[in-house]
Structure 1
Amino acid sequence: MSDTPTPELQTMPLGLYDLVTYSIAGAGLALVAYLLYSWTSRDEVGARYRPAVVAGLCIAGVAALSYLVLHLKWDTGFDLRDGVLVPNAEARATLYPRYADWSVTVPLLTAELLAVCSLTGARARTLRFTTMAAAFLMILTGFLGSQVLAQGRDVGALVLWGCISTVFYAYLYVALIGAVRASTGSMSVEAGTSLRNAAIVLLATFGVYPLVYAVPVFVDVTPAWLAGMQVAYSAADVLAKVGFGVLVHKVAKLRTAEDVAAGVDTHPESVWVSNVHQSEAVLPGTQAEHRSTRFEDNTVDDAPVFATHPAYPHEHHEVEHLPERDPGSRVSAGRYGAAWTADRA
């Protein structure tokens, strides 16, 4: 393979060049849209599952920035000559920024999934550390084989480092599936199904990358291969980050509603999923009044109605935390608090 150009330095026909431009721009815009969606909907998720939202925001931000760099390098990396686009020095940067992106976002994807699982304590911390480390090493070893050693043109290096990378991928596969299986029994049917779907999407899209990585082992790198690789990577990024992220967000909302309905947590607004009312708003201090909502056969019972909810939540907050008072006492509340005053009449 040493007598053929490196993967990024292919002379591109106009049609294939435009196809890659479209895929990079489309994926970048999808990531920006997901970033805005995650930011504006972050308060729909309870504090217990908020780390999943934070991880999703970081993933979307890093990936969107990476795609901006990719688009700029792809746009300036080729010169039009005689009806074809000839690569220049900038074209070298049309592939390795993806590895920089994946080095950050792939570990965060594993953390995002684990944040909505039911594992807790030392087990959760250990699994989060090992899966994030394995995800990073999976990307790093793949980068060594495809970009660093002989500029990705050494078949032996591709195979060796590809196999090493696959070991980390196999560990991720086993560890994440185990975490999902251990968690689905402690949540509703709908939440468990969404969690399994999220894991399937993530692990299936992870499988796209080694398949594309392995192509140069069997066939020569051509302009069509470069275009197919860029399109495949862009599509996989959207599925793994946007599609997976939306499913995880749904799980986080469903689990938030379950915790509120069970009276183990509060949430300042009603939880709706796919236009279905899952739970009422419950403010801190009202758990004792809250009648639990039961999840049976993927359906939700009527949520409790709080007839005395005030117009301003902060006023409700102040009153709910007051101590018990005697029947003959009265309350005197100001802007910053409230105090019981005994009625000594």
Structure 2
Amino acid sequence: MDPTDPPVPELQTMPLGLYDVVQFAILGAGFALLAYFLYSLTSRDEVSARYRPSSYAALCLAAVATVAYLLLYLDWDSGFRLEDGVYVPNEEARTTEGTRYIDWSITVPLLTVELLAVCSVTGAAARRLRSSTMAAAFLMIVTGYLGAQVLDQGRDRLALVVWGLISTAFFAYLYVALIGAVRRSLPTMGPEAAVSLRNATIVLLSSFGVYPLVYAVPVFADVTPAWFTAMQVGYSAADVVAKIGFGVLVHKVAKLRTAEDVVAGVDTHPEPVWSSNAHKSDGVLPEVGRIAPALLDRLGTSRGPELLRRPDAAPSAAGRRREDT
């Protein structure tokens, strides 16, 4: 390496304050993602089976992102040593950006799955759209990684531009495909769910826009410690918005659509659906002839045969009083 060349972005000598800011951003985002993982784990049954793939995608991406931020913190903590009042990087600091790209290569495709799972595209069209958007999301990350990390360690401006433009092509396809799916879905749902889906899409695509802006910084300027701090904080904040803010809105869409299906009589859900402290639908059990054995076990094996003989799924309150007497 020519000593006159600027250092790669991750190998900046960091003043104490800037080092602490980055550490705070990484830890804050990591704890937020851990909380979101627990939220996704405990709330996945709040939506019907039709929309539950969105909850599973959220759970998977929250788990991956939480582990990635743990590794990122370890990379950051072990990648610098304190000398004469500044933090001097070693080669382990180089892995901080690589860890982010590994995270994104898995979680960004899962974000597209999460969004499409609450849209109204179905059948073969849904499978094609899901496959193409996941592939585009993955290739968007990989091509960006080549320019930002692989070729000349991210210091080749021409490589940054070329691979950045290739990544942008996949980025543009994602915008077109996801917006198209959302626009086709909005007329098929109630106004409240439609507003939440629109807001979730805006949050996701807006947060996506942060990454290419940060990626482009080394194209126009040498990355200083202050710039590198801004990059790390920007990436961490965008991860929180794209994964948590978007995920909470999508979960709300899934709950509202579950309630709409229950009220319309096209689906059932064993528990009442509430959203923002507002009651949206009552709990409705499946028809008796289609009750799953697991549900019968939960209702009680002693009442199972009786429920199968009766035309209604559960006795009324008056019927229970008569039986008790």
TM-score (ref. length: structure 1): 0.85
Deviations 1:93-142 (A, max 9, x none): 11110000000000000000000000100110000000000000000000
Q: Which amino acid aligns with 2:191?
A: V
Q: CA offsets per residue over residues 74-106 of structure 1, 9 Å max, x none?
A: 011101111000001211111110000000000
Structure with greater helix percent = 2
1:37-48 equivalences in 2 (<5 Å): 37-48=39-50
Contact 2:33 2:65 survives alignment (8 Å): yes
Matching residue of 2:102:
100
Give the Cα–Cα distance (whole angstroms) in 2 for the partners of residues 147 and 195 of structure 1. 35
Distance 1:269 1:90, change over 3 A: same
Q: Please give the per-residue CA displacement for 1:191-238, whole angstroms capped at 9, x wherever unaligned.
A: 000001000000000000000000100011111111110000000000
Of residues 180, 183, 193 in structure 2, which corresponds to 1:181?
183
2:288·2:311 contact (CA, 8 Å) conserved in 1? no
Which residue number in structure 1 is paired with residue 204 of structure 2? 202
- Structure 1 264/232 Cα, relative in aligned 2: closer, same or farther at 3 Å? same
| Secondary structure at 2:50 match in 1 | helix
Match for residue 172 of structure 2?
170
Residue pairs, 1:242-257, within 5 angstroms: 242-257=244-259
Taking structure 1 as reference, are residues 110 and 197 closer, same or farther at Cα in structure 2, changes over 3 Å only? Answer: same
Counterpart residue number, 1:307: none
Shift of 1:323: 6.5
Instruction: Return the alpha-carbon distance in structure 1 between the equivalents of residues 99 and 112 of structure 2.
Output: 20
Counterpart residue number, 2:129: 127
Match of 1:240? 242
Distance 1:169 1:314, change over 3 A: farther
Distance 1:95 1:238 in 2: 17
The change in CA–CA distance for 1:6 and 1:253 in structure 2 (over 3 A counts) is: same
Distance 1:313 1:279, change over 3 A: farther
Which of the residues 215, 218, 225 maps onto 1:216?
Answer: 218
Contact residue 288 and residue 308 of structure 2 kept, 8 A: no
User: CA–CA distance in 2 between the matches of 1:118 and 1:317?
Assistant: 36
Partner of 2:292: none
Pair 256,131 (structure 1): closer, same or farther in 2 beyond 3 Å: same
User: Which residue identity does 1:4 align to in structure 2?
Assistant: P
> Per the alignment, do residues 81 and 149 of structure 1 end up closer, same or farther by CA in structure 2, a change over 3 Å counting?
same
Alignment equivalent of 2:68, drawn from 63, 66, 69:
66
Q: Work out whether residues 49 and 256 of structure 1, in 8 Å CA contact, stay in contact via their aligned partners in 2.
A: yes
Q: Residues of 2 paired with 1:77 and 1:317: CA distance?
A: 61
Q: Which amino acid aligns with 1:77?
A: G
Q: Deviations over 1:158-207 (max 9, x none)?
A: 00000000000000000000000000101000000000100000000000
More strand by share: 1
Q: How many residues align?
A: 302
- TM-superposed CA distance for 1:322, in Å, is 3.1
Identity of aligned residues (%): 68
Q: Which residue of 2 aligns with 1:299?
A: none
List, as ranges, runs of 4+ consecutive aligned residues in structure 1 with deviation greater than 2 Å. 312-325
Paired residue type of 1:262: A
Matched to 1:205, the amino acid is S
* Matching residue's letter, 2:22: V
**Residues of 2 paired with 1:243 and 1:151: CA distance?**
33
